[in-house]
Structure 1
Amino acid sequence: MSRRFPPGAMSRRILERKIQDRYHAGHIGTHNALNLFDELIQVAGPSSVRAINCLLTVVGRDCPVLGVSLFNRVARAKVPPHNITYSILVDCCCRAGCLDLGHAAMGHVIKLGFTEAIVNFSHLLKAICAEKKTSYAMDIVLRIMPMFNCVPNIFSYSIVFKGLCNEKRSQEALELIQIMVEDGGCCRPDVVTYSTVIDGLLKEGEVDQAYNLFSEMLRQGVSPNVVTCSSIISGMCKAQSVDKAKEVLQQMFERGILPNITTYNSLIQGYYSLGRCKEVDQIFKEMTINGVQPDIITYNIQMDYLCKSGQCAEARKIFDSMISLGQNPTATTYSILLHGYAMEKSFHDMHCLIDLMVENGISPDHYVYNILISAYAKEEMVGEVMHIFTKMRQQGLNPDAVSYGTVIDLLSRIG
């Protein structure tokens, strides 16, 4: 016996399937979603909620306020929303900056008894932390969520950890990690948790605590990856704690994690900042042994150190060898060498380098020209400065505040 559908049910199901298929294929834009929503809502039934969720997601992604408005039309159409629908609603409220509406929607979710409410809490947590109200977010995770039998997951905790670190409250984040470890529950700190707090501690200058937390992570059996280790090494090098960064590198080798060029660049930068060139040479040897090739950032770091050390000739050799190896210099590369030439008052080399930039398809910007202007201004060469102003305008660049500031300072010095 063939199955009979009520009048219009077949066409509605065809429309629902069409919407879902196009959504999953990524073929629905906001304007199209609004038209499809208008068409579906007139015939919508309980089975329409999945297709409606697809349309709400598309509209809410581009215009969260409009997403909230569409949800109200769904409620009036008496289509029973489920947890995903409310998750979209809470997300739209939060992204539209309407936290009060987000809380109200969240309260409705709880009253309906959705056990998956944790997804909706996460949207609220992100919005609350974005407003620098992480203490309230912590209260939600540690008190309010358990009150409604909603056990926080690691994603909820991660939002709070990020919020605390962004507010420079890494000590509290460190304490919260200890609470999670001592609790021994199913939600334990993972590699993202540890990495977030380590990064926060490093930014606050707490290098020893960051290194101790890294060691604790390893003792807890949480395995870092190359991205985690590189991030930690970078932070330690910026804090001029290169020896501890090298210890992390050793830990990587012991655990079979091969460093990449990002890892090595951080170490090279760190050693150069301390003037420890012999260690840099050793790093380059390790790179060769491990088959890691220098990239443009590596060359820029080398050139920057050499130029600041008064060794522009050596920097130029690296620049030329880089090109011969197929590495295309960036605007940053040219600017580094220009700064070096400016320090040495090598004006001819500066102009030749700018000509080379243009030949290689890189148009000089304000930053590049300001290097020239500053160099000439230091030598009180007013005519050359004004010539650069003219050249900038010919190329469609109006001198900026830095350019004019340099000239005003020059004119005040020469009377």
Structure 2
Amino acid sequence: MASRKMGKIPQAFRRVAAQSPASTLLKPKTSSALQAEKAPPPVPHWQRQKKFSEKRPVAENDFAAKSPSLIFESANLSDAKSLFNSFISSTRDAPSEASFYNSILQSFAAVSSIQDSIFFLNHMVKKHPPFCPNRFTYHILLKQACSSADEESLSGVHNVLNLMTNSGFPPNQVSTDVSARALCECGREEHAVELVKELSTKNLLPDTYTYNFMVRHLVKNRSVSSANSFITDMKVFVINPDLVTYTIMIDNVCNTKNLREAMRLLRVLSEEGFKPDCYVYNTIMKGYAHLSQGGDVLGVYKRMLDEEVVPDHITYNTLIFGLSKSGRVKDAKKFLQVMTEKGHTPDAITYTSLMNGMCREGDALGALALLGEMEWQGCSPNSCTYNTLLLGLCKGRQLNEGLKLYEMMKKGDIKLETGSYGTLLRALCRQGRVAEAYEVFDYAIESKSIPDIAAYSTLESTLKWLKKAREQGLVV
């Protein structure tokens, strides 16, 4: 949208940009680079792995697939029995498929207690003998028993597991998956670990899907130590972590800024005989980048090359972001060139990261020049790009150039972000251009850039600052 509405950068704007040496950062695109740009990006290894690590085949969970024929709004067992009796007596040639009745049972289970659901199932079988419960019928009850966040024990779950055995459907590996997922999803991770270990002693071992699902929930909602303990305990049953397991762990500890643990896991991963892939390295790099630790970002990149892992587009974007954020813009510019030489086309994220770093260093005009370079390379700026540059120009005392950029944003219906809005207001008021500040306020309201209350509050605080500064003779 931005490229269609924004059009070309005005010539007057280009003249200011051309004064900066940053306009020669990149060479024109080669034919091979253009061809690479048109090709669809490959699906990352992690995306493929993640899809299979979280979900079992749909067929094994189809007890919940059909829409219920009856909707129960009351948890009253007597009402449910009456409604079922009425439904059966008024329905000619009622289906005999178990899935039809499973959907009815599931509808009642959604509002009732587990004990009443069992009573209702017994009533359904007695009232309509053609209905023969199957394994999925009992998995509905199993899931219900596990889904109560208020339960302080696994007694209800054990009751259903015993019922399954007595009914001729002893628990299997899918039963382990159903119960583990239901327990984790309602916050009962400790019970999930307890049950999975108990079932494992009965040779009902979790498969890869269940195992990695458990690890993900533990490291995300409990602690790294609880996930590590689970991994250690499951090794007794000859169930070992795989590359996906370690990737899940690294991804989550990086999100919590625990980079020391991420590096430890990286060592463990290698010791276990797995080769870290590009996603793993990118994840750790991103963690260091957000902490503004450019040296560590570069260190992970070098280790990646030493391990002969080929960097991808995200690697270079993360590297440029991390170096720019930590004040190493000169190094970031070098990798912009390396990126193109390796066949990766810089995008709006790449350029915006570099612009942000340049503005932080006080080189707002250099960042402005990069905007022209960006267009020359055929890359369309986005809202973040414009707001980053507007913020940098206003902070860098380049208000006139900032206002030119602001006019371009208005023509393109680009919304102001909170930071750039407030900085532009203060820059205008600092020069006594209050009428223009009100116009910016009007645009922020009309374009719904930020909530009205925030827009009013920022304007009010800016005008108060201006009044006080005038009284102290700081501004005219």
Structures share fold, TM-score greater than 0.5: yes
Whether contact under 8 Å (1:41, 1:74) holds in the other structure is no
Alpha-carbon separation, structure 1, partners of 2:426 and 2:212:
46
After TM superposition, the structure 1 stretch with the greater mean CA deviation from structure 2, 152-161 or 338-347, is: 152-161
Q: Structure 1 residues 257 and 409 mapped into 2: Cα distance closer, same or farther (>3 Å)?
A: same
Does residue 217 (structure 1) correspond to residue 261 (structure 2)? The answer is: no
Deviates most, 334-343 or 253-262: 253-262
Of 139, 151, 172, the residue aligned with 2:194 is 139
What per-residue deviation string (whole Å, max 9, x for no partner) do you get for residues 13-45 of structure 1?
Answer: xxxxxxxxxx99xxxxx9x94569989995222
- Name the residue aligned to 1:151: 205
- The counterpart of 1:353, out of the listed 379, 398, 405, is 405
Separation in 2, partners of 1:391, 1:302 = 28
Match of 1:119 in 2: 174
Aligned position for 1:6: none
Q: Report the CA distance shift for 1:93/1:293 in structure 2 as closer, same or farther (over 3 A).
A: farther
Matched AA of 2:339: M
Pair 190,405 (structure 1): closer, same or farther in 2 beyond 3 Å: same
Q: Which amino acid aligns with 2:353?
A: I
| TM-score for the superposition, normalised by structure 1 | 0.73
Q: Tell me the amino acid that sits aligned with residue 223 of structure 2.
A: R
What is the match of residue 236 of structure 1? 288
The reply on whether 1:323 has 2:378 as its aligned counterpart is no
Report the counterpart of residue 376 of structure 1 in structure 2: 428
Q: Is the 8 A contact 2:289 2:318 kept in 1?
A: yes
CA distance in 2, matches of 1:262, 1:391: 35
Q: In the aligned structure 2, how far is the partner of 1:349 from the partner of 1:289?
A: 32
CA contact (8 A) 2:304 2:310 kept: yes
The percent identity for this pair of structures is: 21
Distance change in 2, residues 1:275/1:160 (3 Å):
same
Sort the Cα spacing of 1:167 and 1:95 in 2 relative to 1 into closer, same or farther, 3 A. closer
Distance 1:398 1:200 in 2: 31
Distance 1:122 1:378, change over 3 A: farther
Quote the Cα distance in structure 1 between the aligned partners of 2:393 and 2:109.
52
1:49 to 95, 98, 115: 98
| Amino acid aligned to 1:145 | L
Q: Counterpart of 2:458 in structure 1: which amino acid?
A: T
Q: In the alignment, which of 181, 186, 194 is matched to residue 246 of structure 2?
A: 194
1:376-415 paired onto structure 2 within 5 Å: 376-377=428-429, 381-395=433-447, 400-413=452-465, 414=467
Q: Summarize the alignment of residues 245-264 of structure 1 with structure 2, pairs less than 5 Å apart.
A: 245-250=297-302, 252-253=304-305, 256-264=308-316
Q: Structure 1 residues 386, 51: CA separation in 2 closer, same or farther (over 3 Å shift)?
A: same
Letter in 2 for 1:49: A
The unaligned stretches of length 5 or more in structure 2 are 1-57, 60-64, 72-86, 469-476
217, 221, 224: which one pairs with 1:170? 224
Instruction: Identify unmatched segments of 5+ residues in structure 1.
Output: 1-22, 25-29
Q: 1:291 to 1:74 in 2, by over 3 A?
A: farther
Contact 1:141 1:156 in 2 (8 A): no
CA–CA distance in 2 between the matches of 1:255 and 1:75?
A: 64
TM-score, normalised to structure 2, is 0.65
CA distance in structure 2 between the aligned counterparts of 1:336 and 1:396, rounded to whole angstroms: 18
Q: Matches of 2:436 and 2:216 in 1, distance apart?
A: 51
Higher relative contact order (CA closer than 8 Å, sequence separation 6+): 2
Match of 2:214 among 156, 160, 182: 160
Separation of aligned partners in 2, 1:343 and 1:156: 52
Q: For this pair of structures, how many residues does the alignment match? A: 378
Q: Note closer, same or farther for the CA distance 1:332–1:148 as it changes in structure 2 (3 Å cut).
A: same
Alignment root-mean-square deviation, CA: 4.2
Question: 2:461 is paired with a residue of what secondary structure?
Answer: helix
In the TM superposition, residue 359 of structure 1 has moved relative to its aligned partner by: 3.4
Number of the residue aligned with 2:325 = 273
